Amino acid sequence: MRVTSAADFLPPELTLAALREAVEGCRGCPLWACANHAVLGEGPEDAAVMLVGEQPGNEEDLTGRPFVGPAGRLLDRALAEVGLDRTEVYVTNAVKHFRSEPRGKRRIHKKPGQEHIDACRPWLDAEIAVVRPAVIVCLGATAARALLGDAFRVTRARGTFVPSPLAPHVLATVHPSAVLRAPDSAARRLAYEQFVSDLGRVAERVRGLVEAG
Ligand code: SF4
């Protein structure tokens, strides 16, 4: 039987611990076959902020932890700059297994297809249901399309809170790997400043929520 969704692999009890254990056994799409680990999100179960990226990268696949590679380190630095502590936010991805293609001895990132994003969606929905974040931040076009629909364009609407049934406050910005991919140091600096500015809006919103009680 060809399985086309992760839904059949969700645990009966929705807790982060149960999801983490169950996701390693997911066969909801073919991506599991070429990866070392399924990478569920990481962070407190009651986090106010959930950050959603695209998929694990090489280091994430090897360690089984999200955002631990170069993009994750840039994200940590940007979060710290706006006063958000990485250990207090929940970070995850739209797709839980690394999609890659071999290039010599290396594995090169390959964008997940819509079919992988759709198949994997039950895991992200389960994480949102457990954490119930006040703020969701989509990092990059894949996460934004997955959560905000095909018509959403990060280039046009980044840094702006948009209405969504998923959480009271939802915003999209670029993926930190896009900052790293900027063509030269000046472009990288500008991309980083814009990224920090978007995250600054998130931090401001969180502080407002805390003050409002
Ligand atoms: S990518 Fe998602 S749906 Fe596909 S096997 Fe991995 S966890 Fe399951």
Q: Which of 50-54, 102-106, 192-196 has the lowest mean pLDDT?
A: 102-106
- Axis-axis angle for helices 114-131, 16-23 (nearest 10): 160
The per-residue pLDDT for 17 is 97
Q: For residue 175, which phi and psi values (nearest 5 degrees)?
A: -80, 140
Q: How far is the CA of 213 from the centre of ligand 1 (A)?
A: 38
Distance 188 CA to ligand 1 centre (A): 32
Q: In this predicted model, what pLDDT tens digit does every residue of 105-151 receive, in sequence order?
A: 888 899 999 999 999 999 999 999 999 999 999 999 999 999 999 99
Name the residue at shortest CA distance from atom 2 of ligand 1: 120
Nearest CA to 37 out of 1, 68, 76 is that of 68
Question: Domain tally for the chain?
Answer: 1
Please give the pLDDT value at position 71.
96
Q: Which of 139, 135, 129, 130 is nearest to 92 (CA)?
A: 139
Question: Which tokens sit at 169?
Answer: 């406050």
Q: Which pLDDT does position 63 carry in this prediction?
A: 96
CB 38 less than 6 A from any atom of ligand 1: yes
Q: Is residue 76 part of a domain?
A: yes
Place 1 in a pLDDT band, splitting at 50, 70 and 90: very low
At residue 2, the pLDDT reads 55
Atom 1 (ligand 1) nearest CA: 97
pLDDT in tens, 73-99: 999 999 999 999 999 999 999 999 999
- Could you report the per-residue pLDDT of 32-43, keeping only the tens digit for each? 999 999 999 999
Model pLDDT, residue 198: 98
Average pLDDT along the chain: 95
Structural domain span for residue 88: 6-212
Residue 207 belongs to domain with CATH number = 3.40.470.10
Ligand 1 proximity of 170 Cβ (cutoff 6 Å): no
Band of residue 16 on the pLDDT scale cut at 50, 70, 90: very high
Residue 1 lies inside a defined structural domain of this protein: no
Distance CA 135, CA 137 (A): 7
